[in-house]
Structure 1
Amino acid sequence: MAGNRDAGRLRGSLDALAGISFVMAAAVLLYGVLQGWASATTHDVSLRVGNAAGQLAATDLPAGASLVTPFQVNVPVDLLPTGAVVMVKLADALMPLTWGVAALCIGLLCREASHASTIFDGGVLLRVRLLRWALIAILVLPHSLRVWGSTWATSAWGEGLTTATPLGSVWLPLLGMYLCVVFEFVLHRGAQLQGELDEVI
């Protein structure tokens, strides 16, 4: 009886977490759409740039560019190659959208786990894989586009400027991806052991 109550509480907690994840996913996806529209219509591009000494000074920048922080520069799109502008703006739009997809995958995983007869059901493993691919998309798409676009933009200004990559934003999706890989292995191995036990019984 106590086991049924504990299982019911766990299912309720997972359902609540799934609901929160769905609400967060909707909010982040809506923000992503608005961010994409704002990024597409603005006449400036925000770049993270450094130089050999580390932080930038206003004298290091071409005419028309403005220094916001020691590593962040706002540049009118007219001063940059069109391809670089497209890459950076696309990266700005994709970052919240990919995080929204990841939140949606977390909600689907919690919902599937709460309704599965056993944690080793194939549906749970499928949802974990979807979450892993969503985290890979966060690592690859926006970050790669921003680095490529920023490198292209700074190379058009001449020598002495480099792209400053914020590594802190990479650690969270990277950690989540590794956890998903470990969880996938545990679920796959658990399903194998359960199948062997069923054959023995």
Structure 2
Amino acid sequence: MTPPLPRFHRLPPEQRAAILAVARQHFAEHGPQNASYNRIIEAAGISKTAAYHYFDGREDLLTAVLDDVLARLLGALGAWTPAADTPAFWTRLEGDADTLSRHLIEHPDDLALAPAAVAQNGGTAWRDWFGALITDGQRLGVIRTDVDQDLLVTMTIAAFSAADEWTLTGLAAGREPDREQVWTLLRGLWGREAGGRAH
């Protein structure tokens, strides 16, 4: 996928945001592979001629939407900064997980497109965030060091993805999932030598 054309980035921010919001809704509703480019640009209120000044086509628009979704997800999380100690690490991690869950609940289009968005550019930005988390956890002794870090990052991302889906499914069914089960699983994944989770 290629990025939008320079003219798109020269549009006023509110106009760019409006186009991306319409496109995000269509891609979320119909799927990244099935949404109609013509219907999106019609719903966004731009002509086909104007649209081709902003995007080479549907794939360019999809790239812009997925980049935007990823930025929104990473914005909800904020950059991972080193924790002062183990209790601060867990407090921050729980807070970030709750913030991301709330964001996904409040923005179902982001939820629908999250898997494709985090896979953008090989998932580098998403992996970088989790890499910082793992590195910090290892520094504090919260996360094991006897397993390849790339494998730990991959497994941690998979665990969080599954936990988010499990949490959101539970909330949709009207039950509050027991998040302590997520932390129990993470402690198991991250290793016995990490010690217990501090409260």
Bigger-Rg structure (1/2): 1
Q: Structure 2 length normalisation: TM-score?
A: 0.34
* Larger strand share, 1 or 2: 1
